[in-house]
Amino acid sequence: MMKWSCVLLFGLYFLSSCRNDNPYNELAVNDVKVDHWIRYEDLLNRIDSVHPQKELHQLEITYPEFTNIFFLRVINDQYNPDTSFSKIYSMYHKSPVINDIYKNYIPAFKDLSKEEKEYAESFARFSQMVPGYVKPKVFTCLTEFGVGVFSTSDTIMGVSLDMYLGEGNKYYSVEIWPAYIQHNMNRENIVPNLLKNFIRNSVLPQREPETLLDHMIRQGKEVYLLRRMIPPAKDTLVYGYTSKQLDFCKKNEKEMWAYFLSQKLVYEANLKKIQKYVDDAPTSPGMPPDAPGRTSAFIGGQIIEAYMKRHKNVSVQRMLRETNSQKIFEESKYKP
């Protein structure tokens, strides 16, 4: 009886230690203010389609920034752009695809309170790491598959719900969105994609990466933040991998890094040679089939974790501002 008690206690201690070691548990939030997202697709649906001018004008007065960007840049005909909100609205309103999605798919998104809460809590965690940013307001909308998440400024973001209908949806052609893309086109990715969009456009230095190492460090910074904003049970959403792919990365980190070194890819600047390692792709060339594309994000995340563990006096803000990838890499003393 004593032996089993000891084993059980050891097991509970081990599980507790694992939970405490997860970077998500470094931060805690309480009593977070949850703001409702603005349901722009509903506002457009309520407009008098026969005489829309007055209500469109009111929409522009109420939400000037989002309305202007949405009409003039997001849903405007890029081949034959117009400046008349009424004409652009008429084209939007008459779209059979928009009408079908709104009628048959958007009812499933009627209650977004879960996503609103997740977003608020994630941003509260971000604010502890990087103070001074305003939590962006979120507008939901329909763009007829134009864009998933977009920013109109540092304080306003839009999310197109028609890009999150779920893998295998009748509108998701595999020619346009292959399986490795579609597995992220679901409701679970809405909040992570909002966070990624904010980090990439408003937080990280706007400097174009050149080498594979540059991409690793930039993506690693994003991963560092997201691992502290997204619960560990949803860690696949941090990287955009499947569970099987993330498991492969965790078990083969040393081999992945050795491959990059042996192929002299770490300092490679030819995008054609490194693109599938830094962008979404079915796999990473030269690695086993279970390796995802964009393996640079996993390695980059590990490098940044190593760097921050060795530099406990360096603030997250200072780490994010550092643009010298080689310096971060050398000072991380990364060894998988």
Tens-binned pLDDT, residue by residue, of the chain (336 aa):
333 333 344 444 444 444 456 899 989 888 899 999 999 999 999 999 999 999 999 999 999 999 999 999 999 998 889 999 999 999 999 999 999 999 999 999 999 999 999 999 999 999 999 999 999 999 999 999 999 999 999 999 999 999 999 999 999 999 999 999 999 999 999 999 999 999 999 999 988 999 999 999 999 999 999 999 999 999 999 999 999 999 999 999 999 999 999 999 999 999 999 999 999 999 999 999 999 999 999 999 999 999 999 999 999 999 999 999 999 999 999 999
pLDDT number for residue 13: 41
Place of tokens 């979404």: 280
pLDDT number for residue 14: 40
C-beta separation of 332 from 324 below 8 A: no
The C-alpha atoms of residue 76 and residue 88 are separated, in whole angstroms, by 6
pLDDT number for residue 219: 98
pLDDT number for residue 20: 52
The C-alpha atoms of residue 32 and residue 229 are separated, in whole angstroms, by 14
pLDDT number for residue 31: 87
pLDDT tens for residues 118-168?
999 999 999 999 999 999 999 999 999 999 999 999 999 999 999 999 999
Q: What angle do CA 211, 199, 188 make, to 5 degrees?
A: 110
CA-closest candidate to residue 211, choices 335, 323, 333:
323
Three-state secondary structure of the chain: CHHHHHHHHHHHHHHHHHHHHCHHHHCCCCCCCCCCCEEHHHHHHCCCCCCCHHHHHHHHHHCHHHHHHHHHHHCCCCCCCCCCHHHHHHHHHHCHHHHHHHHHCHHHHCCCHHHHHHHHHHHHHHHHHCCCCCCCEEEEECCCCCCCEEEEECCEEEEEHHHCCCCCCCCCCCCCCCHHHHCCCCHHHHHHHHHHHHHHHHHCCCCCCCCHHHHHHHHHHHHHHHCCCCCHHHCHHHHCCCHHHHHHHHHCHHHHHHHHHHCCCCCCCCHHHHHHHHCCCCCCCCCCCCCCCCHHHHHHHHHHHHHHHHCCCCCHHHHHHCCCHHHHHHHHCCCC
Tally of CB atoms within 10 A around 52:
17
pLDDT number for residue 43: 98
The C-alpha atoms of residue 61 and residue 71 are separated, in whole angstroms, by 14
